[in-house]
Amino acid sequence: MTFKTALSSTFGLLMLSAAVMASAADMPIVKPLRGTVDSVDGNSLTFTTRAGAHQTIGLTDKTGIRLVSKTDISSIKSDSFIGSAATPQPDGSLKALEVTVFEASLKGSGEGHYGWQNADGSTGTMTNGTVGKLANANGRTLTVAYKGGEKQLMVPQDVPIAYVEMGKVDQLTKGAKVVVFPGEDGKTARGVAVGKDGFQPPM
């Protein structure tokens, strides 16, 4: 490879990387709240955020409660519906930070590809869709299809994998780990993911 060819290749890779990041930046970003339950009083959930602040948000009859537990890569099969917070790669693929596998009744939850604020404050993407082809290293590279697109998702060995099922308000017990999804008004919760038996929902 000549210097000119190498330079051209490197420039092309940088441009592609910039395009991927610009595309991610242009997407609407979901900003969940993460913390530990203090109490549920009537239609209000009070929790302590990871930063130590106390926050209260309303619960309605439309608030979806989801119970989240630990699982492993064997739970991901062809036609599974999954969600994954991930980091976009220069080639357009995604590197998973976590993967959640939804029970069959929840297929279609949050379907799509959009911006996502991670627990450390950084911005990545969330992709919810149906698993197609599984390839490489015991199925650790997945094709995830959603309405309007498809992504290749690489799942590193060390990322947490969780199982999501229907939950109930009475599972929001003191000390439970939660991820809260505020509604458009910011005053009520669109959904709450609660960890089972002290588990920390990884999304």
Q: Structurally, how many domains does the chain consist of?
A: 1
pTM (2 decimals)?
0.83
Residue 116 belongs to a domain: yes
CA nearest neighbour of 142 among 97, 79, 90: 79
In a domain, residue 22? The reply is no
- What does the pLDDT look like over 8-61, one tens digit per residue? 333 333 333 333 333 444 668 999 999 999 999 989 999 999 989 999 999 999
**Model pLDDT for residues 43-56, shown as the tens digit of each residue:** 999 999 998 999 99
Please check whether residue 16 lies inside any domain of the structure. Answer: no
- The C-alpha atoms of residue 117 and residue 133 are separated, in whole angstroms, by 27
Task: Supply the range of the domain harboring residue 68.
Answer: 30-198
> Whole-angstrom distance between the N-terminal and C-terminal Cα of the chain?
43
